Structures are given as structure tokens and as C-alpha cells.
Amino acid sequence: MSRFLRYCYRAPLLLLHIVIGLPLILVLMGAWAARFHIGGERLDHWVAGAWSRILLRIFGLRTRRFGTPLPGAVLFVANHISWIDIIVLHSQCWMGFVAKAEIERWPLVGGVVTRAGTIYHHRGSNDSLHGVMHQMLQRLQAGLPVAVFPEGRTHSGEAVGVFHARIFQPAVLAGVPAQPVALRFGRRGEAQTVMAFGARESFVGNLLRVLGEPAREVEVHFLEPVPPSEDGRRKMADLCRRRIVEAMTAA
């Protein structure tokens, strides 16, 4: 199927998802929704997952999970390719993300990820970083999961960047494990560079480009957890990165 034909049927579906689905989802993710449950899961958390799965299908993306996400307080640690990473992870289970503050203003995803409990960081601000670390610690101590991208930014997909160890400190202080999560787009990760959010791309530009891409699979590998280390955050960061790299390069 040509890119033009993919646009012809995906664009109207995306428009419906925005015009009708988005306002409905935001209402269902209001503060009141925390009091209700579906299948043992909070209504607002369930809604975030359902909205994410629908959005992925509109973009022609099908998720395939390997392993099991830990329940309760855990620091999920993933490689970072694109804004879609957040949607992919939300489709698997609820987790509160740490993300750059600009995302709050992005169309389509900003409102949903904000309602889903995202902790926003203003880059270059030490005050903001201290606040983020404090919020992460509070959530982990309250038994809630937090997700981070330790590379600090999206990469081209050709390699996994260096993991910043500081972001692991709340897990060390809270005494909770970090679970590495490897995200592979396409068969054996062959679409990593295609799906990557380029440094010179705008959010809308990347969204439109990816909307026309062929349907493909997204592998989500929940890997062996890393316990809080007595040797500190650097050891946790290095071990998480090593496990993700191994999963990314596996046949």
C-alpha cells in the first residue's frame, strides 16, 4: 500500500480520535475517576492504556510484549527513540513518566500524558531537577511506578546512549528496583531509525511522517529487574543499559 493510501484512511481516524475521543478521554481521566475501577485497575489508568492502544493502531503499530512489568513501586527504565515511546509504554501498563516540559503543550498527547501523571522537567533548571527528583521519590515511596528515559533525549535509533545515573537516585533512596525496558520498532529493530524523532524535526512534522509509515510491530521487552544497589546509582544505570543493549541486539 502506498503512503498516500495510508494517509487516506489513517488521517480521518486520527481526526476522529482527536475531535471526539480526546475530549471524552480527558473527562474520563478526571480526578473523580480514581475512585472507580475496571478489572482491578483504576478507571483513569485503564482509560490511559485504552487510549494509547487505539492511537497505536491508528498509526499501524502493533505491540508484542516479552516479559512482565513489575507491579507496585518500580522505576521503569527505557531506551528513547520517539514521543511514541510514551504511548507504547502506557499501552502496557500505567506508569507516571518524567518528561521535558514542552510535551505538556504538544497537541494530541500533551493533555493525556499530563492527566496520566507525568512529572515535567524544565531542562537547564536545577530547581526543576530537584523538584522532579523529590516527586519521583514521593511516588515510589507511595507504591507507585515511575518511568524514565535515562538517555535524557531521543536518539537516532542506531545505538543506545549513555544513561545518566542521577535519575536512579530516587530508586536508591526508596529502596525499589529498576526494571529495564527495551523498545524495538520493526522486526529485530529494523525500523529504529525510521521511527526516531529527529533532532531537526518538529512534533507535528514527525507525527505526519510516521502516520504514513507501513504497519509494523513494536517489541516491548520487560527485562530482569535491577535491585537497588549498595554501590549506588551508577551501578544500577550501567546494568540497566547493558540489559537493554543485549535485548536490542538479540536475534
Please tell me the predicted confidence (pLDDT) of residue 79.
96
The mean per-residue pLDDT over the stretch 215-222 comes to 97
**How many structural domains compose the chain?**
1
> In this predicted structure, which of 89-98, 129-138, 188-197 has the lowest mean pLDDT?
188-197
- For residue 49, is it within any domain? no
pLDDT at residue 210 tops 80: yes
The mean per-residue pLDDT over the stretch 143-164 comes to 90
What pTM value is reported for the model? 0.92
- For residue 8, is it within any domain? no
Higher pLDDT, 135 or 155: 135
- For residue 202, is it within any domain? yes
Given the C-alpha cell 480520535, which residue does it identify? 17
End-to-end CA distance of the chain: 28
Residue-wise over 207-239: b if at least 16 C-beta within 10 A, else e?
beebbbbeebebbbbbbebbebbeeebebbbbb
- For residue 149, is it within any domain? yes
Domain hosting residue 125, numbered range: 60-249
DSSP assignment of 192-213 equals: HHHH---TT--HHHHHHHHHTS
pLDDT at residue 130 tops 70: yes
- For residue 185, is it within any domain? yes
Please tell me the predicted confidence (pLDDT) of residue 126.
74
And the C-alpha cell for 199?
533532532
pLDDT at residue 111 tops 70: yes
Which pLDDT tens digit goes with each residue over 34-62? 898 998 899 989 999 999 999 999 999 99
- For residue 144, is it within any domain? yes
> In this predicted structure, which of 57-66, 126-135, 143-152 has the lowest mean pLDDT?
126-135
Indicate the DSSP class of residue 9.
Answer: H
The mean per-residue pLDDT over the stretch 204-228 comes to 96
pLDDT at residue 164 tops 90: yes
Please tell me the predicted confidence (pLDDT) of residue 34.
85
The mean per-residue pLDDT over the stretch 115-128 comes to 82
Please tell me the predicted confidence (pLDDT) of residue 211.
96
- For residue 176, is it within any domain? yes
- For residue 12, is it within any domain? no
Residue 93 phi, psi dihedral angles, 5° rounding: -165, 160
123: left (phi over 0), alpha (psi -120 to 50) or beta: beta
pLDDT at residue 244 tops 90: yes
pLDDT at residue 158 tops 90: no
Using CA atoms, how far apart are residues 230 and 228, in angstroms rounded to an integer?
7
The mean per-residue pLDDT over the stretch 131-154 comes to 94
The mean per-residue pLDDT over the stretch 195-212 comes to 92
pLDDT at residue 230 tops 70: no
